[in-house]
Amino acid sequence: MPTRRISFEESLAELPRHFAQDGNVVSSHVLANLSSVFPDGEDFFVRSVRHYRSEITDPTLKKQVNGFIGQEAMHGREHRVFNDRLAELGYPTKRMERFTKWGLELRTRKAPPMANLATTAALEHFTATLA
């Protein structure tokens, strides 16, 4: 999976406060809060996969894992930019980001690496259904 270099920063300048579904307040708040968990969630995914990268012997799988890591890093960067804009609009994204970071760092310390990898796989499937 090649890493796609994307940037939405310029297009966010005109983002209205209620940006989802033609100004729907509830949808906008739900999506803003969902977005606020993505950057640290994607960092968690990268840590979980990176933990096992050195054990991969299949060159195709290793290439796919490297692509996944690059893609997740790109997604995290763009969600941080989006969340910064949402914070400017008054959404509590920074508070949600801190809470998410705390929870995922705790999980990384307390759960076995295989459980974190399984969580990553499950959450990747979940977020794919949202897309």
pLDDT in tens, 68-77: 999 998 888 8
pLDDT at 64: 95
Domain-located, residue 56: yes
> What does the pLDDT average to over 2-16?
71
Domain-located, residue 87: yes
**pTM score, whole prediction:** 0.84
Total structural domains within the chain: 1
pLDDT at 3: 55
Work out the percent of the chain whose per-residue pLDDT is above 70.
92
Nearest Cα to Cα of residue 120 among 107, 101, 106: 107
d(CA 45, CA 38): 10
Confidence of residue 9 (pLDDT cuts 50, 70, 90): low
pLDDT at 4: 56
User: Residue 20, SS3?
Assistant: coil
The mean-pLDDT minimum among 9-13, 51-55, 66-70 falls in: 9-13
Domain-located, residue 5: no
The yes-or-no verdict on residue 6 having pLDDT over 60 is no
Domain-located, residue 67: yes
pLDDT at 7: 59
Nearest Cα to Cα of residue 7 among 101, 69, 53, 74: 74
Domain that holds residue 46: 21-130
Radius of gyration of the chain (CA): 16
Q: State pLDDT tens for residues 81-115.
A: 999 999 999 999 999 999 999 999 999 999 999 99
Domain-located, residue 62: yes
pLDDT at 60: 96
Nearest Cα to Cα of residue 119 among 44, 43, 37: 44
Determine which helix (DSSP H) or strand (DSSP E) holds 83, and give its type and residue range: helix 59-88
- Any residues with CB less than 8 A from the CB of 19 and at least 6 apart, and which? 28, 31
Domain-located, residue 84: yes
